[in-house]
Chain A
Amino acid sequence: MNPPPITLDRVTLRHGRRDIVRDLSGVFAPGSLTALIGPNGSGKTTLLRALARLHAPAQGRIDLGGLVRHDIALLPQASAMDRSFPITCRDVVALGMTARLGPFRAIGPAHLDAADQALVAVGLHDHGKRQIGALSAGQFQRVLFARMIVQDAPVLLLDEPFSAVDPATLTDLLAILHTWHLQGRTIVTVLHDLDLVHDAFPRTLMLSEDRPIWGTTAATLTEANRQRAGLSSRSAWSPRHHHAA
């Protein structure tokens, strides 16, 4: 995979009359793995939606370098899906292919096989025929990752993908994220856990009321920057033991 760079040129994002992100410029380089952090309300989700072309910038420009809709896969926060819907894991994963197949082209046996393989890849070997309503939060997140695998998009946007999962799931999903990274996909992930950002993400974009800070994680996650963004106290963030709960 060799996606084009995604270039932000003085982008301002607005909700109603309130500017959430102001004058953000920079580049998501091809194959980069970026953590998107910042206090609540700093515009992390909105920026992700803007990259997925679901939120138009009020000012400035996002240059996707010729990427089209199905080149960008967005994993919103899990609560967006209706988990009481009577559908199997395999079908949920297979529906991920409609991003490329459109509403009418058939999902054939080959596609269903791919869906099953994706389920295996996320550690859900015999869950194909299970209803999504019967899954734990961690298993459900694995299904969503499997769906993202079959989407096979060069650009991946994930919104707090680890916020409600158990430690074992976190480890597995993080491994998948790194496989995607090694495959050369461009990845942007909203995260709360600064330790995780520090350990696993080479680049960080920190949003705040103040000027956004964007660069290598080592250069961005300094104590001074954190304090300026209102992130000085680690315990106010969701440290890792919260994920286990």
Chain B
Amino acid sequence: MLDLILDPFTMPFMRRALVGCLVLSVAAPPLGVFLVLRRMSLMSDVMQHGVLPGIALGAMVGGLSVYAMGFGGVLAGLAIALLAGFLSRRTGGREDSQLAGVYLIALAAGVALVSSQRGIDLTHLLFGSVLAVDDTALFGMAGVATITVFGLAIIWRPLILESLDPGFMAATGGHGAVWHLSFLALVVLCVVSGFVALGTLMAVGLMMLPAIAARHWSDSLSGQVCLAVLIAMLSSVGGLIVSFNLDVPAGPAIVLSAGAIWAVSLILGPHASLLRNGRQIA
């Protein structure tokens, strides 16, 4: 039993993947908490699909370097974020269907572009491959995580105020759009940085599932953020072990682990769970 848990991490590539995922577990879930609070869960879907064509274009232009693909992914993600913001303003917040249209197109375009390239394995790109986490990818993840944690610390208070009461922020001369866009930029960075290990479709899972699980355990913002990080770390370790032993891609394995924790939280958690049904549901 202990072998099943420890054996995977005797492999250097598994240790790199572990470090990468743990680093991402610190950075991504706090963003997920804010995405949930701001009722922007759909936005994470849009992001994960939106970065794919950028990654593919990066690979076409710059070859199979992580940085070229990452840079393309970030540019595409930012473009999608701006487009989503524009659609949202135009439709007065009812942009759901249009966002769905955007990300379906982005996914199709991304898959088409990737398929036209030799040398890129679509499965790895979408669902991740721990084998691909080399030192370059690892430094990329660590760098992004550092930027994200510091970035979120800087925009923490204005972002809370903008999420809580955008009207008050506007009335007191705050620039809500600045904080909103800075936040989305951090989300894009995190999604892109996760794609090597977790795949573009799964990186968002490490962001969102711990965040929605944490809601059932804490009713304070900092509590939710800390718990979400903890849950993401547990999911990363558990997922990588499952991935190694059962030979499934790392992304789905980690997301399924996080999903299991969420399911337990939804049933048992002290806040708004199925067992404590009712009054605390927001």
Q: How far is the CB of B280 from chain A (nearest CB, A)?
A: 8
Given contacts A86-B220, A86-B221, contact A92 B164 (CB under 8 A): yes
Q: Are B167 and A70 in contact (CB under 8 A)?
A: no
Q: With A54-B171, A98-B157, A103-B174 as given contacts, are A84 and B219 in contact (CB-CB < 8 Å)?
A: no
Decide if A165 is an interface residue (CB 8 Å cutoff): no
Q: CA A74 – CA B161 in complex, angstroms?
A: 15
Kindly identify, within residues 87 to 108 of chain A, every residue whose CB is under 8 Å from any CB belonging to chain B.
87-88, 92, 95-96, 98-99, 103-104, 107
How many A-B contacts if CB must be within 8 Å? 73
Task: Identify the B interface with A (CB < 8 A).
Answer: 37, 154-155, 157-158, 160-161, 163-168, 170-174, 179, 218-221, 223-224, 280, 282
Select the stretch in A75-83, A196-204, A208-216 that faces chain B: A75-83
Residues of A near B172 (CB, < 8 A) are: 69-70, 98-99, 151
Q: What is the CA–CA distance of A92 and B158 in the complex, to the nearest angstrom?
A: 12
User: With the chains together, A99 CA to B174 CA distance in Å?
Assistant: 8
Of the candidates A72, A81, A103, A104, the one whose C-beta lies within 8 Å of that of B164 is A81
Closest CB of chain A to B50's CB: distance in Å? 26
Given A69-B173, A85-B37, 16 more pairs with CB closer than 8 A: A54-B170, A74-B171, A80-B168, A81-B168, A82-B165, A86-B37, A86-B219, A86-B223, A87-B160, A87-B221, A95-B164, A98-B158, A103-B158, A103-B179, A104-B157, A133-B219
Determine the residue in chain B with the shortest Cβ distance to A129. B220
Chain A residues closer than 8 Å to B174, beta-carbon distance: 98, 103
* 17 A-B interface contacts by CB (under 8 A): A74-B168, A76-B167, A81-B164, A81-B165, A86-B37, A86-B219, A86-B223, A87-B220, A92-B164, A95-B165, A98-B157, A99-B172, A99-B173, A103-B158, A104-B154, A104-B157, A151-B172
Q: Which 6 A-B pairs have the closest CB atoms?
A: A84-B282, A69-B173, A99-B172, A80-B167, A103-B158, A74-B171
Chain A positions within 8 Å of B173 at CB level:
69-70, 99
CB-nearest residue of chain A to B179: A103
A115 to B155, CA, bound (A): 22
Q: Is the interface of B mostly helix, strand, loop or mixed?
A: helix
Nearest residue (CB) in A for B154 is A104
Chain A contact-residue range equals 20 to 34
Tell me, in angstroms, the Cα distance from A70 to B174 when the chains sit together.
10
Interface contact A82-B164, CB-CB below 8 Å? yes
Complex CA distance for A212 and B234, rounded to whole angstroms? 65
Given A103-B157, A131-B219: A52 touches B163 (CB 8 Å cut-off): no
**Nearest residue, chain B, Cβ from A77:** B167
How near does chain B come to A56, taking the closest CB pair, in angstroms?
A: 13
CB nearest to B224 among chain A residues: A86
Residue of chain A at shortest CB distance from B279 = A134
